[in-house]
Amino acid sequence: MLFQKSSFPRSEFLFFFIFTFTFSFALTFVFALPACQPTTTPEPHDAQEAPTPDHLADSSSNKTCSGSLSFCNLRFDQMIFPMAHNAMSNAEEKWELPLQNWSMTRQMQNGVRGLMLDTYEKDGKLVLCHGFCELGQKSLKDGLLEIKRFLDDNPREIITLEFQDDAPPDKTVQVFREIGLDALAHTQSKQAAWPTLLSMIQNNKRLVVLADTHGGKVSDAPWYHKTWELAWDNPYAAKKIEDFSCSVGRGQAANPLFILNHFLTAPLGLPELAKQANTQASLNDHIQRCQKEHNRLPNFVAVDFVDIGAVFDIVFALRTTLAP
């Protein structure tokens, strides 16, 4: 017989069918579930992607200072920050012969806290460019708006600008005022001690502005500081690794801020040169030599192509030694 009438009553047969179907479906779901879960093995990433964001993990907290509770009682001049040399010149925005891959916004999002910027006046407009503005330029206003948006979105972070300033200082200050960025600018007296990071955050004075040439020349903008009255640096024209020096370039070694120039220009900055300069060995050697010669760490480590090499790893490892 192909078919045989069931001896189960109709209601019991229906219950048995539903139970069996449900149980079989549940087993199928349970055994299939692991295959549906995302793998926990991290995917590899190339040199152009953001660094591992461990150093930014706590930056959204309403209690941290520059990413950690332990930094809050550090003075600004006791902290160490990654800095992007010629930060405006970047491949992401299609500049020719760029010195960074990431845009300024992406640099800040990924941990850069110091931006070296060149300013010029071209055809009556203030622009960011690097000497030959035909290779790429951005209006100063647009660049500063990027910085303001970052500071507004990240109220526990501090940004430092170092201008190689060919543009007139009064016009530069006016752009800050037009967008309200001057309200976030910290004013530092040469004689006074730097405030703690916590104090700068609580007072919402989270922007430090340094200008190499015309800083200090706008009487009603004391926050537009002369770089070399507050800072000093080492020579910046290294062509090969052996040229990296710890001697005093501009400013005086007694000044509270130390800017370490660590990039190769031969005759231009290139990714291939950054791959040599930004290695862990090269950065460690340069920083340790300068620390030995001057008995201090740099406050800013300035490099080309911040996304290449180990600058984030080096800076954030050094930060762990700073907690008071």
Give residue-wise pLDDT tens across range 82-124.
999 999 999 999 999 999 999 999 999 999 999 999 999 999 9
Nearest to 232 by CA among 244, 250, 216: 250
pTM over 0.85: no
Q: Is the pLDDT of residue 70 over 90?
A: yes
pLDDT score at 61:
60
Nearest to 68 by CA among 50, 52, 54, 51: 54
Is 4 in contact with 13 (CB distance < 8 Å)? Answer: no
pLDDT score at 62:
79
Q: Is the pLDDT of residue 41 over 70?
A: no
Q: Is the pLDDT of residue 323 over 90?
A: no
pLDDT score at 15:
42
We find that the CATH architecture of domain 77-319 is: Alpha-Beta Barrel (3.20)
Helix (H, G, I), strand (E, B) or coil at 187: coil
pLDDT score at 267:
92
pLDDT score at 324:
66
According to DSSP H, which parts of the chain are helical?
Answer: 10-36, 104-109, 140-153, 169-179, 197-202, 227-230, 271-277, 280-294, 311-319
CA atoms of 284 and 290, how far apart (whole Å): 10
pLDDT per position as a tens digit, 221-278: 999 999 999 999 999 999 999 999 999 999 999 999 999 999 999 999 999 999 999 9
Q: What is the DSSP letter of 38?
A: P
Nearest to 88 by CA among 74, 109, 67, 102: 102
Q: Is the pLDDT of residue 75 over 90?
A: yes
CA atoms of 277 and 270, how far apart (whole Å): 11
pLDDT per position as a tens digit, 179-220: 999 999 999 999 999 999 999 999 999 999 999 999 999 999
Q: Taking all residues of the chain, what is their mean pLDDT, rounded to a whole number?
A: 86
Q: What is the DSSP letter of 68?
A: B
Q: Which residues contact 189 (CB under 8 A, 6 or more apart)?
A: none
Q: What is the DSSP letter of 278?
A: T
Is 65 in contact with 203 (CB distance < 8 Å)? Answer: no
- 280: confidence class by pLDDT, cuts 50, 70, 90: very high
Q: Is the pLDDT of residue 14 over 50?
A: no
Q: Which residues pair with 258 in a beta bridge?
A: 232
CA atoms of 35 and 210, how far apart (whole Å): 55
Helix (H, G, I), strand (E, B) or coil at 20: helix
pLDDT per position as a tens digit, 133-173: 999 999 999 999 999 999 999 999 999 999 999 999 999 99
Judging by beta carbons within 10 Å of its beta carbon (0-12, 13-18, 19+), is residue 307 exposed, middle or buried?
Answer: buried
One-letter amino acid at 211 equals A
Q: Higher confidence at residue 313 or residue 323?
A: 313
**Domain boundaries defined on the chain:** 77-319
Is 126 in contact with 167 (CB distance < 8 Å)? Answer: yes
- 131: confidence class by pLDDT, cuts 50, 70, 90: confident
Q: Is the pLDDT of residue 38 over 50?
A: no
Helix (H, G, I), strand (E, B) or coil at 239: coil
Tokens describing residue 139: 């209006």
Provide, rounded to the nearest whole percent, the portion of the chain with pLDDT above 70. 81
pLDDT score at 299:
98
Nearest to 112 by CA among 127, 121, 99, 131: 99
Q: Which residues pair with 300 in a beta bridge?
A: 81, 259
Q: Is the pLDDT of residue 42 over 70?
A: no
Q: What is the DSSP letter of 242?
A: G
Is 189 in contact with 223 (CB distance < 8 Å)? Answer: no
- 47: confidence class by pLDDT, cuts 50, 70, 90: very low
pLDDT score at 24:
45
